[in-house]
Structure 1
């Protein structure tokens, strides 16, 4: 009974079983989660994300073991539980285009596994499975926050 519930959540309620781009489709679950997170203060956002990631590590660990080991493609809870990190502290995040860019950058970094993302995944177990997505989300957050800051700066210069 518990194993079935864990596997259901770990596979993104079945999205992880899709034959094409399961990580991308599984990450879509993170969009409403991130939108909801933006209604909280930055401190609350951090606390909620820490709690989500604290749940994600054992969830992914046990699901991985029950499904044959490793960060297998059907396992997408790490994607959708780490995605909201991209939106942390971004007041502009409640714009559809910011959320869309956040999603694109997150998937880009998660798929390409730029260093140290691939190395972090090698830690193994639930921690490695979740940590590579956390690093991808942090990369995406840095790129997005920098882009938003540069856009605001350009707009401020333009209005002078």
Structure 2
């Protein structure tokens, strides 16, 4: 397996079946936890950007000329999107001094919301997905991750009594 393919498939995680995108998002969770422990939300945010750029570079190198770059086994985009969805959890743990794992409802919400937005592809997520290039492959999951992050913040506000419906 080439280096580009290793990056695009997250070391082969994208080859797991069924639902390789879900496997990729699930693999992002312990990695995000480790990054949070090592450097807090700032390291997680920085490495998310590096992962997104690595995906944009690796995906075109992992496919042949003229081939569709949006392959199910390419899950580097799920990694980046899932990490974005986890930013509010990491920031919340850091800001309060809490153990990030104590915020497990936020982690679960981030995972579920990210997968929901990634699969349903509402509005801008779908527009990015239709690009059919490496930027589009990454961008649809980045946007889904941002949507999920907003959802996590809203659910946290409701859960902590900050927002009343």
TM-score by length of 2: 0.80
Summarize the Cα distance change of 1:67–1:54 in structure 2 as closer, same or farther, 3 Å threshold. same
Q: Tell me what 1:99 maps to.
A: 107
Contact 1:45 1:88 in 2 (8 A): yes
Is residue 134 from structure 1 mapped to residue 142 from structure 2 by the alignment? yes
Summarize the Cα distance change of 1:24–1:67 in structure 2 as closer, same or farther, 3 Å threshold. farther
Summarize the Cα distance change of 1:49–1:14 in structure 2 as closer, same or farther, 3 Å threshold. closer
Alignment of 1:48-127 (within 5 A): 48-65=47-64, 68-90=67-89, 91-92=92-93, 93-94=100-101, 95-127=103-135
List runs of 5+ in structure 1 lacking aligned partners: none
Name the stretch that deviates more: 38-47 or 51-60.
38-47
| Residues 20-79 of structure 1, C-alpha deviations (whole Å, 9 max, x = no match) | 111111222211122123333444443332222121211123224479323111111111
Contact 1:60 1:75 in 2 (8 A): yes
Q: Tell me what 2:33 maps to.
A: 35
TM-score by length of 1: 0.82
List runs of 5+ in structure 2 lacking aligned partners: 94-99
Name the stretch that deviates more: 107-116 or 28-37.
28-37
Summarize the Cα distance change of 1:41–1:19 in structure 2 as closer, same or farther, 3 Å threshold. closer
In 2, Cα distance between equivalents of 1:7 and 1:47: 22
Q: Secondary structure at the match of 1:153?
A: coil
Considering only aligned residues, what root-mean-square deviation do their CA atoms show, in Å?
2.5
